[in-house]
Each structure stands twice: as C-alpha cells, then as structure tokens.
C-alpha cells in the first residue's frame, strides 16, 4: 500500500495534477479538480482548499472532497480562527495526529469532520502573499508521513501560481458594478498620467497562450483562413516526409502521426465549431489545441503523454500560418491602451500617436526603455503586473493609472468619473506649467541651469523641439536603428542626423553613439544572453564591430559639416582602454573624411558615466574628453545591483539611494576640478525630488524627457540654489533613500510644489 502511494506521489503525479488544474475553465473548476486529484493520488480521506481574502484575511472553504459539500462557500473562518487560521497566521505547515487536542482546534458542526483525527495543513503562498490553505485529513490518529508532508508542501508551491492566475482572471472578467472604488491590479508606476481607453493586446507570434479572444461576425472568412493555414502546414509535412525518404522509419512515422493529428476531426471540428459561434480563428485554434493537448498530458502511458507536446508544436505551426493569413495587422481604436507581455519602445512607436492613451506591460519597471519612451510621449504606463489573463483583456475598457501603478478593468461609472476628474486636473497643471516652457531656468539666487531634452525617436522630434529645451542633452541614436528593418546606411544616417542638427541649430545636440544590447535589441541583430545588462552592450558592441561603429561615426561627422552644434557621446565606458579605443576610431574617421576633402571641426566628445568603475575613473577620463554625462539609470542599476527592467526588484531601484547620490556628487565635483561640463541625463534629472539635490550639488546641465521640461524649469526658477545646498547636506547625512525622499517631499510640499509630488491626487 505504501509502495503504491509512493509511486503515485511522484514528480509525474505532481505534474499531472498541475496540468489538469491548469486546463480548468475557471477558478471554481480548478479548485474542484485539484481537491479531487489530490484526494485520489494521496489516498487521503479529506482534501480541502480554503481561500484567503486579501483584504479581510478571512478564509473560505472553497473546495472539498470528504467534508460536507454544503459547507463550500458557506464556511468562512476569521484570520486566526481554528487550525486553518493557525496555519495561515504562522505561514507554515501543521501536521498532527489528533486534531481535537490542539489548543486552536475549533469544532464546526456544519462541515461534518467529527470522524477525522489526523490533520495536515499547508499554506498556499504566492510571491510572499498568502492565498489560502491546503488541508488534508485522515480518520486514523497518526500524523501524516514525512513523504506526505513534503508532497503536499511541493504541491502547494506549484499550485499557488495557478490559483493566483485564476483569481486574477476572475477579477478581470467579472463585470465591475456598484459605486465602490472597483477592482484593480497593482503594478509599477512606470510613466505618470491617466489613460482611459480600449485595451489592444499585442500577442507574440511564438507564444500561443497570448493570442487574445476576439469576437468576429464574418465567420466564413475565418473558417476559410483556418482551412488554408491547415492545408499549408499539411503540405509542408508532406514535403518534409518526402525529403526523409531513406531516413530512419521513426521520423517518417512521426510525420505521418503529425498529419493524422492535423486532420483529426477532434481538432478540426472543435476549431470550426468555435468559429461558427463567433470566435476569431486564432483564438478558436488556441483553445482547441490546448484542450486536445491536455487530454494527452494527463495520460499514464509516457509515450501518449508526450503527444501533448507534439500537438502544441503542430498547433504553433498552424497558428503561424493563420496569423500570416490574417495579416497580423492591428487596428488601433481612437483611445488605445497597448497591452502585452513584454512590450518594448518600438511597440509604442507603431501606434499612431493621436490614438495612444497608455501602455500596460506585464514585465518591466519604471526605468526600462518602454517606460522612458512612454514618458517622452507623455502617456501613462503601468508595468510589472505579473501574469495577466491577456487573452481576456483584448478590447475591454481599461484605465491605466500611471501615478499609482494600477490597472482597472471594466471600470464602473464611479471609477471612470473619478479618473476623468484626475485627467482634467492633470490638464490644468500642464496648462499652468506651459507658462514656464520658454523661460530660462534661473534660480532666485541667480544661477542659470541649462534644461536640455532627451530625444531619439524620429517621431518625437517636433515634441522635443517644442518642449522649450535649450538643446538635446542626449540623443539616443539606437532608437533610430530600432525602427528600421536593417542597419541604416551611412547616407541614410547622415540625412537623419542633419535633420536633428538643423531643427535645433544653434542649440547643441549631443548624439550618443549606438547603445544597443541590454533591453534594446535590434530586431535584425539578435543577441541571446542570460545576463544582457552585464553582457555585450553599448560601446562593447561598437568596438567589436568597427564596420558598424565607423559607419556611424562617419555619418555623424559628415552630418556635422557646416554646423557648430553637434557633440558626440560614448556610452557604457567602463575603463580608460575603451575610451582610448573609441577616441582612436573617432580620430581615424575624422582623418579619413578630411582626406576626402570635407571641412570638419574637431568633434566635441564626451564620455558617459553610468558604470561604477567610471565614477572612480572620472578624473582620468576628464583628461581625454570635452565633457561628461551621468546616466543615472544605468548608474543606479549597476551600483545597487538592481536590474532596471525587473519589476520584482523595482522597489529597490532608487537614484536617491545614498550611494548613488555620493557617486553623482563625486562626478560633478570632478567636473568642477577639471572645469569640464557635466550633464545629468538619466531619469533622475526629471524627478523633482532628485533635481533639488542635483541643484545642491552644483549641476548646471540637466537633460530630461520633453514632458518634464516645464516642471523642472518651474522648480529651478522658484527654488534657491542655497536652499538646495542645505538640503543636500542633510540628505548626505541620511542612511536610506526613504528618509531622503521624505525630506525632499516635505520640502517640495512646503515650498508650494505639492502638485509635483502628489500628481493626480
């Protein structure tokens, strides 16, 4: 008997339970499947799942085998009530032989547990939050075995993410009613603003599960698209099969099996029926493939079990064809909020600007380039929401609250009304700030600060031009490369760079050379690395690819001909050797162009300080360059060892961290010693709290996103440098970024800048 159980309590058994639970249609079915399977596989008398309400902390019996069914949804325990409350409050397993003797045991006549003595309760925890308790009971009075405990424990950890996802789906799909604040999901506040509109889910061609649900009326067209996709894959298989003549028979057999699956009525009929009922062909295919594959997943026979994988593989092939036939073109409604798994800057750029109201991305933090571009475009962004039921979100009404990092789905009238009010207030503030756009930023004690703009998207040139900037402090040339289908030629680059120089002339424009890698891949130059931010990035790629680097340098220098305003900036320098090599390339290209007869001034060159080693070598760099530029985004990332793109550690990413402040101050002082201009061009320069300290450090050049220019100018115009210096002294004495932020928030509040620190409230 024990051997029999041992066999069942295997990894495969566990995988099967998880797979079956995963295939369930909704939360209720998922919980029912879980308790039935566990009851059977673990051979226990009772298996129950209690779900914990996040706000009240109360536990509801949500599914059971062994206790009275009538008690489901009726039995609700207080946060610390009974043995369930004990497991929940301790957040650890409880395994006892005679539960009635436990001091926390509570007799509840409703459930009918009089006959059960042994009790094993395991908390179900997801990302640090308690979701509920898995409870097992036995008639006999012996505690559960070690093996049972470890199996239940492992099960609970595996089932947690599925339960969390199903709960989320329920929240998202449930219509929002009533006058309450409504349901929302918490993420990272990545770009300020309020976006109210229709969700457009961008699915990934390779990820079947991200295909969204859509309703269609022209079902005939959908059916024909599906049939065409199917026969295209069939043909491919035929060709493959023929080319395998003479190959081992297993390969042919496999291809034949594939063909049979493809034409099986089980798959084809399911898709056609679903389309007939009004579902978009890709969603119909997605569901049919998953349902069929799940049937194989749970089979005992390992050979048959593996077929689930084949079905998914085939499904993906048909899906690719289908999406090709469907055209893959996305239509963007008037008020589009882009939603996706791991969106990048390019996804945003593709949406017509007058239609885009916000962006929601499952992954990413406030310092990813998606967030930076959203800020540049002035749209709300919420990122880092974890797994979302993307399939159900497409074309739903949603609100992106970029101030608090919240996503509202199907908001009720009260919520909509409140957000429209906030959006109006936001508009009022920006109308007021408009008055500062064209003013120079001079502090009340007479110190001038140049407020420059960060730019890079060809589309945002007018935006950057009209933002009231005194030049471009950072032109991210890689964004231009990212919008193309291949490397732009030298001549194409010349045209683009000249356009920027002309537009801003005589104001300075700082072109940063290509900074790809990290979270900025080029679609036509894929880099696969496990640790891209510590990998092949920025200047490292340029130095390894002189053909790319020299072409860009030639284009930049050629574009400069006849202009007095260009500067060059080298990204990601981590040591003097890289700086030398970069300068050698610039010199070589400069000489080449002069030999070709071009009239060129010696280029003005700067180094970015965004890697910790560069901070400590700034004095050395200063001897070789004309200016320094501090990239606070990467500097914070590398100093604090916090991936700027990772939502899990987003809370730890703070440019106000005492170590980051010390580093920035060190570089600004170094600039002063060498009489070398220093620009601060990361996101910190546009954060009013950080700006105060930068002012105190003596910063004279701040480069910020277009939308931040008026508020930064307002702040500088009204805030004396002398007071900023006092604040800096206080801040440098503090131990944590929280304490520093608190100090600066209070200061901004008292000085009448409350609207900048509590926007949207």
Report, in Å, the least distance between residue 512 CB and ligand PEP. 8
Sign of the CA dihedral 114, 116, 120, 126? negative
Q: Which of 39, 138, 162, 369 is catalytic?
A: 369
Nearest of 484, 475, 469 to residue 349 by alpha carbon: 484
Q: In what order do the strands lie in the sheet with 397-401?
A: 184-186, 406-409, 397-401, 194-202, 336-340, 356-361, 380-383, 188-191
Longest dimension (CA), the chain: 98
Tokens 């295919």, residue?
285
Task: Kindly state whether residue 687 participates in binding ligand PEP, applying the rule CB under 6 A.
Answer: no
Task: Kindly state whether residue 682 participates in binding ligand PEP, applying the rule CB under 6 A.
Answer: yes
SS (H, E, C) 234-295: HHHHHHHHHHCCCCCHHHHHHHHHHHHHHHCHHHHHHHHHHHHCCECHHHHHHHHHHHHHHH
Report, in Å, the least distance between residue 757 CB and ligand PEP. 22
Q: DSSP assignment of 372-438, as one string?
A: HHHHHHT-EEEE---S--HHHHTT-EEEEETTTTEEEES--HHHHHHHHHHHHHHHHHHHHHHTTTT
Q: Which of residues 606-665 bind Mg ion (CB under 5 A)?
A: 610, 631, 634
User: Is 528 known to be catalytic?
Assistant: no
Token pair in block for residue 293: 């594959």
Report, in Å, the least distance between residue 668 CB and ligand PEP. 15
Tell me which residue has its CB nearest to Mg ion: 634
How many residues would you count in the chain? Answer: 761
Based on CB atoms, which residue is closest to ligand PEP, 307 or 375? 375
Report, in Å, the least distance between residue 633 CB and Mg ion. 5
Based on CB atoms, which residue is closest to ligand PEP, 134 or 539? 539
Based on CB atoms, which residue is closest to ligand PEP, 401 or 634? 634
- Which one of 281, 377, 451, 474 is in contact with ligand PEP (CB under 6 A)? 474
Task: Kindly write out the interface string for residues 446-465 of this chain, putting x where it contacts Mg ion by CB under 5 A and - elsewhere.
Answer: --------------------
Based on CB atoms, which residue is closest to Mg ion, 375 or 396? 375
Q: Which stretch binds ligand PEP (CB under 6 A): 73-81, 438-446, 522-530, 631-639?
A: 631-639
Spatial distance between the Cα atoms of 37 and 20, rounded to a whole number of angstroms: 9
Task: Kindly state whether residue 394 participates in binding ligand PEP, applying the rule CB under 6 A.
Answer: no
Cα end-to-end distance, the chain, whole Å? 64
Report, in Å, the least distance between residue 374 CB and Mg ion. 17
**Distances 609 to 287, 480, 516, 553, 634 between C-alpha atoms, Å:** 50, 22, 17, 20, 9
Q: Kind and range of the H or E element at 455?
A: strand 448-455
Report, in Å, the least distance between residue 637 CB and ligand PEP. 8
Task: Kindly state whether residue 460 participates in binding ligand PEP, applying the rule CB under 6 A.
Answer: no
Residue 423 binds which of Mg ion, ligand PEP, none (CB < 5-8 A, kind-dependent): none
Based on CB atoms, which residue is closest to ligand PEP, 159 or 449? 449
- Which one of 631, 696, 710, 760 is in contact with ligand PEP (CB under 6 A)? 631
Task: Kindly write out the interface string for residues 574-613 of this chain, putting x where it contacts ligand PEP by CB under 6 A and - elsewhere.
Answer: ------------------------------------x---
Report, in Å, the least distance between residue 453 CB and ligand PEP. 12
3-state SS assignment for residue 471 = coil
Spatial distance between the Cα atoms of 28 and 242, rounded to a whole number of angstroms: 48
Task: Kindly write out the interface string for residues 488-517 of this chain, putting x where it contacts ligand PEP by CB under 6 A and - elsewhere.
Answer: ---------------------------x--
Spatial distance between the Cα atoms of 214 and 125, rounded to a whole number of angstroms: 33
Q: Give the helix, strand, coil percentages of the chain, each rounded to 5.
A: 50, 15, 30
Residue 48 binds which of ligand PEP, Mg ion, none (CB < 5-8 A, kind-dependent): none
Task: Kindly state whether residue 476 participates in binding ligand PEP, applying the rule CB under 6 A.
Answer: yes
Residue 474 binds which of ligand PEP, Mg ion, none (CB < 5-8 A, kind-dependent): ligand PEP
Q: Which of 47, 99, 670, 681 is catalytic?
A: 681
CA atoms within 13 A on the CB side of 505: 13
Tokens 């080319």, residue?
243
User: Is 47 known to be catalytic?
Assistant: no
Cβ(61)–Cβ(111) below 8 Å: yes
Report, in Å, the least distance between residue 610 CB and Mg ion. 5
Residue 41 binds which of ligand PEP, Mg ion, none (CB < 5-8 A, kind-dependent): none
Task: Kindly state whether residue 632 participates in binding ligand PEP, applying the rule CB under 6 A.
Answer: yes
Residue 682 binds which of Mg ion, ligand PEP, none (CB < 5-8 A, kind-dependent): ligand PEP
Based on CB atoms, which residue is closest to ligand PEP, 156 or 640? 640
Residues that bind Mg ion (CB under 5 A): 610, 631, 634
- Give me the active site residues, please: 369, 681
Residues that bind ligand PEP (CB under 6 A): 474, 476, 515, 610, 631-634, 681-682
């Amino acid at each position: 008997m024990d051997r029999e159980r041992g066999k069942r309590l295997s990894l495969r058994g566990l995988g099967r339970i998880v797979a079956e639970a995963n295939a369930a249609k909704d939360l209720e079915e998922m919980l029912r499947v879980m308790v039935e399977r566990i009851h059977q596989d673990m051979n226990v008398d009772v298996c129950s799942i209690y779900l914990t309400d996040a706000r009240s902390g109360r536990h509801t019996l949500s599914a059971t085998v062994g206790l009275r069914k009538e008690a489901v949804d009726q039995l609700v325990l207080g946060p610390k009530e009974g043995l369930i409350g004990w497991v929940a409050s301790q957040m650890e397993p409880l395994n006892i032989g005679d539960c009635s003797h436990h001091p926390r045991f509570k007799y509840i006549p409703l459930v009918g547990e009089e006959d059960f003595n042994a009790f094993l309760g395991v908390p179900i925890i997801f990302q640090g939050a308690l979701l509920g308790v898995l409870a097992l009971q036995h008639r006999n009075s012996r505690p559960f075995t070690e093996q049972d405990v470890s199996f239940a424990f492992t099960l609970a950890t595996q089932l947690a993410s599925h339960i969390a996802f199903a709960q989320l789906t329920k929240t998202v799909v449930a219509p929002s009613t009533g006058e309450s604040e409504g349901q929302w999901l918490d993420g990272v506040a990545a770009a300020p603003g309020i976006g109210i509109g229709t969700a457009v889910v961008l699915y990934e061609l390779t990820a079947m599960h991200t295909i969204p649900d859509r309703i269609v009326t022209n079902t005939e067209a959908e059916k024909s698209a599906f049939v065409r996709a199917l026969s295209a894959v069939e043909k491919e298989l035929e060709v493959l099969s023929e080319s395998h003549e003479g190959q081992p028979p297993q390969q042919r057999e496999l291809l034949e099996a594939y063909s049979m699956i493809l034409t099986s009525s089980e798959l084809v009929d399911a898709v056609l029926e679903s389309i007939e009922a009004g579902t978009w062909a890709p969603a119909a295919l997605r569901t049919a493939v998953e349902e069929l594959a799940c049937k194989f997943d749970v089979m005992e026979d390992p050979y048959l079990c593996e077929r689930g994988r084949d079905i998914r593989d085939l499904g993906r092939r048909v899906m690719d064809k289908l999406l090709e036939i469907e055209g893959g073109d996305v239509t963007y409604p008037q008020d589009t909020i882009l939603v996706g798994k791991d969106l990048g800057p390019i996804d945003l750029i593709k949406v017509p600007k007058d239609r885009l109201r916000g962006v929601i991305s499952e992954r990413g933090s406030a310092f990813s380039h998606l967030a930076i571009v959203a800020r540049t475009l002035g749209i709300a962004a919420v990122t880092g929401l974890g797994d979302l039921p993307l399939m159900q979100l497409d074309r739903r009404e949603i609100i992106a609250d970029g101030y608090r990092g919240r996503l509202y789905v199907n908001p009720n009238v009260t919520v909509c009304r409140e957000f429209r009010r906030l959006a109006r207030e936001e508009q009022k503030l920006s109308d007021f700030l408009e008055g500062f756009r064209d003013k120079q930023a001079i502090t009340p004690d007479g110190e001038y600060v140049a407020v420059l703009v960060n730019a890079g998207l060809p589309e945002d040139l007018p935006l950057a031009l009209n933002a009231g900037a005194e030049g471009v402090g950072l032109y991210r040339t890689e964004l231009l490369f990212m919008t193309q289908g291949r490397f732009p030629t030298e001549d194409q680059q010349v045209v683009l760079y000249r356009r920027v120089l002309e537009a801003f002339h005589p104001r300075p424009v700082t072109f940063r050379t290509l900074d790809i890698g990290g979270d900025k891949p080029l679609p036509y130059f894929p880099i696969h690395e496990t640790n891209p931010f510590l990998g092949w990035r920025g200047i490292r790629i340029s130095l390894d690819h002189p053909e790319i680097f020299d072409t860009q340098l030639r284009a930049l220098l050629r574009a400069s001909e006849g202009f007095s305003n260009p500067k060059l900036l080298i990204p990601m320098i981590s040591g003097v050797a890289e700086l030398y090599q970069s300068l050698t390339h610039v010199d070589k290209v400069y000489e080449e162009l002069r030999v070709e007869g071009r009239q060129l001034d010696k280029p003005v060159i700067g180094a970015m300080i965004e890697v910790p080693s560069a901070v400590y070598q700034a004095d050395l760099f200063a001897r070789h360059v004309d200016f320094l530029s501090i990239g606070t985004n990467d500097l914070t990332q590398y100093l604090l060892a916090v991936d700027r793109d990772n939502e899990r550690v987003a809370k730890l990413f703070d440019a106000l961290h005492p170590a980051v402040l010390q580093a920035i101050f060190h570089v600004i002082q170094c600039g002063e010693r060498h009489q070398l201009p220093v620009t601060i061009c990361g996101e910190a320069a546009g954060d009013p709290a950080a700006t105060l300290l930068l002012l105190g450090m003596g910063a004279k050049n701040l480069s910020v996103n277009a939308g931040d220019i008026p508020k930064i100018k307002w702040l500088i115009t009204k805030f004396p440098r002398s007071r900023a210096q006092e604040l800096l002294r206080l801040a440098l004495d503090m131990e944590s970024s929280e304490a520093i932020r608190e100090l600066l928030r209070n200061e901004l509040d008292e000085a009448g800048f409350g609207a900048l620190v509590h926007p949207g409230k």
